[in-house]
Chain A
Amino acid sequence: MTGTDTEPPIGAAVKDPTAAKGSTEPLLPPEITAQTLGDYVRGLVLRVKSGESGVLPVILSMVIVFVVFWAVSRHHVFISAGNMVNLFQQSAVFIVLGMAEMFALLLGEIDLSLGYLGPLGGAIAIQIIEPGNAGWPWWAGIVLGLLGAALIGLVQGLIITVLRIPSFIVTLAFSLICFGLILKVLAIGPYSGYPSTNGIDRDLRYLHNLMWANVTPAASWISMIVIVGLYSGLVFTRDERRRRSGLVAPPLSLTLIKIAFFSAVGVVLVLICNLNRANIGKLQGVPFFVYIVLGVLAMWTFLLHRTRYGRYVYAIGGNAEAARRAGINVTRIRTMAFVLAGFTGGIAGILYLSQNGGMSNNVNGGQLVLYAVAAAVIGGTSLFGGRGKPRDAILGALVIVMIPNGIGLKPNLGVQHQEVITGIVLLVAASVDAISRRRAMSR
């Protein structure tokens, strides 16, 4: 501190006299320090070199897996439009379940119940809609299914926070309880054991359509333009306003690149989905579940990054004691996180039900939840709390779905390899997280 009258503004490059001798400047996210695009690229390279690679490992592993399967699949069927849409569809449940798991992971907790809690929401929904049982409208079934899942999340949250039992144990116990409840719920009514979404009932068709129906190609384009336009407008006006007020903001070129990138993703997605992917007849357009996944993503990104609640979730994950001293009701925030995890798990469960054309009594919840954790962690969410974004689950889920998908398309590569490869990818992702954390701490 100089104590002179001319004080340089915050962020001006003043050498910190208190910085430890010999250590380099702390490597900050280039978005907040870069004045120009060149600065940004240099900052990014520095960070990657030091192990703070952010979202890069998951994108890199996605590209590698993608290119390998493209090359080895017969007639390159891996990159056919039909298989690309398959990939999205197979990943949808893991994406949403991964976002559910994120609420627990951000607090440094874990929710092992979601693999059965989510499908329980689905089972409740279909049994209520099933004409042989209550025969209620499709939306009532979905709402009650989600409420049921959220309610069980609340019970778990209260046990974890009020009775102070570790979340690992409570959610493990509830994973078993929820499996039992699924069997109970499925035993009701004439279609006991396997209520199906097939048939002519209008409300059951709605459930079926969640995963299997597409919007028309024209509507696909229009909705894509609206979504990308809204997103670009929001990002551009925010960055521009902050640049003008002299607040920390990325350079204009970076904002434009970001917008161009998301526009390109939108265009490519719609181009793929609008290709006719049926062998006979016509099957084209963006599938309906894409909008559901994007809606969940937008909702939770907003909650976690724009509201007090989200800020407190990150604060508790980073330093629960600091949060408590700041007057934050830690118990309420943590309990609510398990409610939100249950609710989001319920959405995933309904998608799971739709994808499988009904709810079976041999749902493999153990594998579902572990893949959900894997999706979040591979995407870059920390197991130690405080770090991660809902979008991580999308990237992570795409990676773990690509592996079995690609191996399935390569018959002479046995199915026994897929679990091994998925396991290795998860191990690498978790190691990257732990090692970059250790480096950051030792600096």
Chain B
Amino acid sequence: MGDPNGSQRLLEIRGLYKSFGAVQALTDVSMDVPLGHVTALCGDNGAGKSVFIKCISGIYQPDRAEVTWEGRPVHVRNAHDASSLGIETVYQDLALADNLDIVQNMFLGRERLRRGILDEDHMETAAAETLASLRVTTVRSIRQPVGSLSGGQRQSVAVAKAVMWNSRLVIMDEPTAALGVTQTAQVLELIHNLRDRGLAVLVVSHNLNDVFAVADRIAVLHLGRMVAEDRAGAFDRQSVVEYMTTGGVGIKGPSSTDAGREG
């Protein structure tokens, strides 16, 4: 696994540039995110990981980029464009309302109506199905307020909210940053579930334990440039650290972005 040649193409980015005034945040970044794979995006603080995913999810506009989605060129102008393509982003702070219950959070902003009135029965059934399909079974009641959930459960609800809308690509920003050991295991399991459903998952992380536990493919950003992108098997911990910190070619250097790997 991990070889994009044998997998379905989904998102391909070529030559993405983004600057904020005089600061060049991203320079000539290219990346493939194939279906049915977990792609990890690594990089030190300030490498441009957040800017990059915000460019993908429509929050920022890249200065220049060729983006193709399932082989077709697309232009993502805003977050709405991204979600209509099937791109959902789970941010680090999860964006859940603690006072609302799980169903209410999962449907927030996209409530189902029946004769103008909230269709609670329909929403509850659909939410329960999504959670069950992700094998999220530890919540006591789907009607409990999100404020009463553990960190791992909250992450699960945020992911379930993202995958409920026929999404093809789920972007997760530091999904395990605030979690303990068992909760982290729960979230990594969830990421595997998403991949097994055939979705593309892009995980932003600088926790190498998690990256090697979950990723099929690894891409490393250094000072706004993509310095390495390959199968996870082509890296070891040492080489990823070297790429992250120096951007330089390690001892066991995998090919960089310009190598001819077309997915």
CB-CB under 8 A from B139, the residues of chain A are: 10-11, 16
The distance in angstroms between the C-alpha atoms of A443 and B98, with both chains bound, is 13
Q: Is the CB of B151 within 8 A of A308?
A: no
* Closest Cβ–Cβ distance, residue A347 to chain B (whole Å): 23
Identify the closest chain A residue to B127 (Cβ). A10
Write out, one digit per residue, whether chain A residues 1-41 have a CB within 8 A of any chain B CB (1) or not (0). Answer: 11100011111111111111000011111001100000000
By the criterion CB–CB under 8 Å, are B97 and A322 in contact? yes
Supply 19 further A-B pairs (C-beta < 8 A) apart from A1-B137, A314-B104. Answer: A1-B138, A1-B186, A1-B189, A2-B137, A3-B135, A7-B135, A8-B137, A11-B140, A12-B137, A14-B137, A17-B138, A18-B153, A33-B140, A33-B144, A318-B97, A323-B97, A323-B109, A326-B95, A327-B109
A241 at the interface (CB under 8 A from B): yes
Q: Which residues of B contact A2 (CB under 8 A)?
A: 135, 137
Contact A245 B125 (CB under 8 A): yes
Whether A248 contacts B150 by the Cβ 8 Å rule is no
Give complex CA distance A314, B105 in Å.
11
By a CB distance below 8 angstroms, the chain B residues around A258 are none
What chain A residues lie within 8 Å of B144 (beta carbons)? Answer: 26, 28-29, 32-33
- A311 contacts partner chain B, Cβ-Cβ < 8 Å: yes
B150 near A387 (CB under 8 angstroms)? no
* A49 beta carbon closer than 8 Å to chain B: no
With beta carbons under 8 angstroms apart, the residue of B113, B118, B140 that contacts A25 is B140
Chain A hits for B117, CB < 8 A: 306-307
Chain A residues 248 to 293 lying within 8 A of chain B, measured CB to CB, are 248
Instruction: Decide: A247 and B95 in contact? CB cutoff 8 A.
Output: no
Of listed A33, A245, A247, A322, residue having the most chain B CB within 10 A: A322
Q: Give Cα A320–Cα B54 distance, bound, in whole angstroms.
A: 20
- On chain A, the residues within 8 Å of B149 by CB distance are 26
Flag whether A440 is at the interface (Cβ < 8 A): yes
- Knowing A18-B180, A32-B141, the reply to whether A322 touches B95 (Cβ < 8 A) is yes
A386: Cβ under 8 A from any B Cβ = yes
Instruction: For A75, list chain B residues within 8 Å (CB).
Output: none
| Residue contact B95 to A440, C-beta cutoff 8 Å | no
Q: Is the CB of B111 within 8 A of A308?
A: yes
A315 interface residue (CB < 8 Å to B)? yes
Q: Does B203 contact A (CB under 8 A)?
A: no
A18 touching B150, Cβ below 8 Å: yes
Contacts of A356 in B (CB 8 A): none
Q: How far is the CA of A349 from the CA of B137 in the complex (A)?
A: 51
14 contacts between A and B (CB under 8 A): A1-B190, A7-B135, A9-B128, A15-B138, A18-B150, A29-B144, A248-B143, A311-B118, A314-B97, A319-B98, A326-B108, A326-B109, A327-B79, A387-B99
Residue B6 is within 8 A (CB to CB) of chain A in the complex: no
Distance, CA A12 to CA B100, complexed state (A): 21
Neighbouring A residues of B8 by C-beta, 8 Å:
none
Taking the complex as formed, is A321 at the interface, i.e. its CB lies under 8 A from any CB of chain B? yes
Q: Is B147 an interface residue (CB 8 A)?
A: yes
- Contact flags B198-224 to A (C-beta < 8 A → 1, else 0): 000000000000000000000000000
**Count of inter-chain pairs, beta carbons less than 8 A:** 146
Pairwise interchain contact A28-B141, C-beta atoms closer than 8 A:
yes
Interface residue count on the B side (C-beta < 8 Å)? 52
B80 at interface (Cβ–Cβ under 8 A)? yes
Q: Hey, which chain A residues are within 8 Å of B80, CB to CB?
A: 327
Interface presence of A62 (CB below 8 A): no
Interface bits A322-343 vs B (CB < 8 Å: 1, else 0): 1101111000000000000000
The 3 A-B pairs at the shortest CB distance, nearest first, are namely A326-B109, A318-B97, A318-B99
B132 interface residue, CB < 8 Å from A?
yes
- In the complex, residue of chain B having the shortest beta-carbon distance to the beta carbon of A321: B95
Q: Is A396 an interface residue (CB 8 A)?
A: no
- With A and B bound together, what is the CA distance between A430 and B146 in angstroms? 23
Q: Which residues of A contact B145 (CB under 8 A)?
A: 28
**A311 lies within 8 A of B142 (CB):** no
User: Which chain A residues lie closer than 8 Å to B151 at the CB level?
Assistant: 18
A141 within 8 A of partner (CB): no
What residue of chain B has the Cβ atom nearest to residue A317's Cβ? B99
Q: Whole-angstrom distance from the CB of A248 to the nearest CB of chain B?
A: 4
Q: Is A42 in the interface zone, CB < 8 Å from B?
A: no
Residues of A within 8 A of B182 (CB): 17-18
Evaluate contact between A328 and B109: CB separation under 8 angstroms: yes
Q: CA separation between A221 and B147, bound complex, in Å?
A: 44
Bound CA–CA A25/B153 (angstroms): 13
Report Cα–Cα, A348/B25, bound state, in Å: 57
Is the CB–CB distance between A16 and B150 below 8 Å? yes
The answer on a CB contact under 8 Å between B135 and A18 is no
List the B side residues contacting A325 at CB < 8 Å: 79, 91, 95
Interface residues of B in 32-63 (CB under 8 A from A): none
Which residue of A has the minimal Cβ distance to B158? A322
A318/B190 contact (C-beta < 8 A), A7-B132, A10-B142, A12-B137 known: no
Chain B proximity of A353: nearest CB distance (Å): 34
A341 vs B144: C-alpha distance in the bound complex, in angstroms?
A: 29
Docked complex Cα distance between A26 and B151 (Å): 13
Are B141 and A311 touching (Cβ within 8 A)? Answer: no
